[in-house]
Structure 1
Amino acid sequence: MERILREVQDGVLLLRLNRPDKLNAIDEQMLRELCTALDEARVDDGVRVVVLTGNERAFSAGADIDGFAQVTVEELATSRSDFPLWDTIRRFPKPLIAAVSGYVFGGGLELTLACDLVVASQTARFAAPEIRIGLIPGAGGTQLLARRFGKYRAMELVLTGREFSAEEAERWGLVNVVTTPEEYLTRALELARQIAQHSPAAVRAAKAAIVQGLEMPLDPALRFERELFLRVFTTPEAQEAIRSFLERRRAKQQSG
């Protein structure tokens, strides 16, 4: 791989966007390499959490506009469509954490919106600037911004293309943690390792319950949550954890 760098440690896979000379602009090769890495991580039991990052100057400045000059609208709708690739990222079943700094524009913002948790440097600047060149977000931006921020904030950001800060993103609920440029990746990896300590089956079920449940009316979502609960209840990890908890409680009662 050229566009994506990989490193695994303590159950955490670190994926780094690697086009620093292009501010990590997203092209077809980068998307395909990212999806390949995620497909491999999906079936690798040694990977429990994935952290996606860029560099201090740019998480990603957005889509590589040069690529648009080489395709027709018919190709974008059929043979060269990147929709399945973005769908692979959005539907990745393990926790996906974005560690962002600098430019988080266009496709970079949509990549962040596809993640489950976001740790941002104080230098991070977010924007959906497609309107400035006569386009709209096309990889989930309008829908995910509206679901995260509500109609009116999404309208403001998409129709003006204005930038917003890491502090604003945190206040609006897009970012979990804002920290210094020196610490944002460290904090993201710490968060990933904390999650990786828990039962993989329970973690995946929890993500599915939240992500898919948000797409359902409440009653079906509650039934879906209960189905997942019953599924993980039977796992060896859950049964062992319940036994250990009861043994510790009995020992505490006896010693008291």
Structure 2
Amino acid sequence: MKRAPVLIEKHGNVTLLRLASENPLNPLTDELVDALGDALGRIDADDAVHATVITGSEKAFAAGADIVAMSALDYAEAFRRDYVGRNWDRIRAHRKPLIAAVQGYALGGGCELAMMCDIVIAADDATFGQPEVKLGIVPGAGGTQRLPRAAGKSLAMQMCLSGASISAQQALACGLASRVVARERLVAEALDMAGSIARHSLPVLMAIKEAVGRSFESSLSDGLLFERRLFQAGFALRDQKEGMAAFLQKRTPEFLNK
């Protein structure tokens, strides 16, 4: 029996999604990306889940797109099918915190998928790259847009124009990753971080994610106004009352996610 391309594990109010293609390099086929989008859609609708970790195999987080499928496309079909838009946009639209736990290769679409997550934790053997130029194509899932925002223009240009990869330590130094850990501790560290996030109020977590995301897509003045309105709206939450009361009473808050 063919196994599911995405394996789902529940860890309290955290979900672990493991990319599990039969190919250990985890090529991002339509089937895998559809399954990932479906899983994230269910998580978005599940109030019991506050944060999600996405990881891959021991060999690769994801080593790129499905080259076999892409090689058969022409422009008309790619445009008509909205290739790398139709199902990838479902991942981008996910509203809850996402942590990428990257081990091995994160190349092309794999690097782009990691950058779609809110936090990237890298194993010490992780490799990040946008090698599409070697195939005669432009990155198609955010490589030319998210990478400059994460790593700066010069390094993004170097990676996209040469196709050269960078190490986990380089990713940490440039801001592409927030932490580098030993590979045997990767998933445990990511789950620990997700757990520390997931104990907080879900509507507040979602609002913070939305506000930080807005900072990349608006002017500073518009972003500050958006943030201020979310801050002010937060005073309508029961969790705001509980959080501040718990602080004043020197106890742990018991959030109701309302």
TM-score category, normalised to shorter length: over 0.9
Verify the 8 A CA contact 2:62 2:106 in the aligned structure 1: yes
Residue 171 of structure 1: aligned partner: 173
Quickly say closer, same or farther: Cα 1:231–1:31, change in 2 above 3 A. Answer: same
Q: 1:141 aligns with which of 125, 140, 143?
A: 143
Deviation at residue 80 of structure 1 after TM alignment: 5.0
Looking at structure 1, the residues matched to 143 and 181 of structure 2 have their Cα atoms a distance apart, in angstroms, of: 25
- The answer on whether the counterparts of 1:97 and 1:188 sit within 8 Å (CA) in structure 2 is yes
Which residue pairs with 1:11 in the alignment?
Answer: 13
Q: Residue type of the partner of 1:246?
A: L
Question: 1:22, CA displacement in angstroms?
Answer: 4.6
Given the alignment of the two structures, is residue 227 of structure 1 paired with residue 229 of structure 2, yes or no? yes
Residue 152 of structure 1: aligned partner = 154
> How big is the shift at 1:147?
1.4
SS of the equivalent of 1:7 reads strand
CA offset digits 1:129-154 (Å, max 9, x no partner): 11111111111100111111222211
**1:109-129 Cα shifts (integer Å, max 9, x gaps):** 000010110111111111111
User: Which deviations, in whole Å up to 9, do the C-alpha atoms of 1:184-211 show, x marking residues without a partner?
Assistant: 1110000000000011111111111111
| Alpha carbons 1:205, 1:232 under 8 Å: kept | no
Name the CA distance, whole Å, in 2 between partners of 1:48 and 1:8.
11
Out of 149-158 and 193-202, give the one that drifted further: 149-158
Shift of 1:105: 0.6
In the TM superposition, 1:60-139 aligns within 5 A as 60-79=62-81, 81-139=83-141
1:179-238 CA-partner distances (Å, limit 9, x unpaired): 111001110000000000011111111111111122111111111001111222211111
- Counterpart AA for 1:167: Q
AA matched with 2:219: P
CA contact (8 A) 1:128 1:158 kept: yes
Q: SS where residue 19 of structure 1 aligns?
A: coil
Cα RMSD after superposing both structures: 1.5
Q: SS where residue 70 of structure 2 aligns?
A: helix
Structure 1 residues 24-39: aligned runs within 5 Å: 24-39=26-41
CA deviations 1:61-91 (Å, max 9, x no partner) are 1001011134332121122523132222122
Distance 2:250 2:59 in 1: 49
Structure 1: segments with no counterpart, 5+ residues: 250-256
Deviation at 1:19, TM superposition (A): 1.2
Give 5+ residue unaligned stretches, structure 2. 252-258
Identical counterparts, % of pairs: 40
SS in 1 for 2:95: coil
TM-score (norm 1): 0.93
Provide TM-score, normalisation by structure 2.
0.92
| CA deviations over 1:84-114 (Å, ceiling 9, x no partner) | 3222212211100000111111100000010
Question: Which amino acid in structure 2 is aligned with residue 134 of structure 1?
Answer: G
* Segments of 4+ moved more than 4 angstroms: none
Distance 2:138 2:216 in 1: 24
Question: How many aligned residue pairs are there?
Answer: 249
SS in structure 2 at match of 1:83? coil
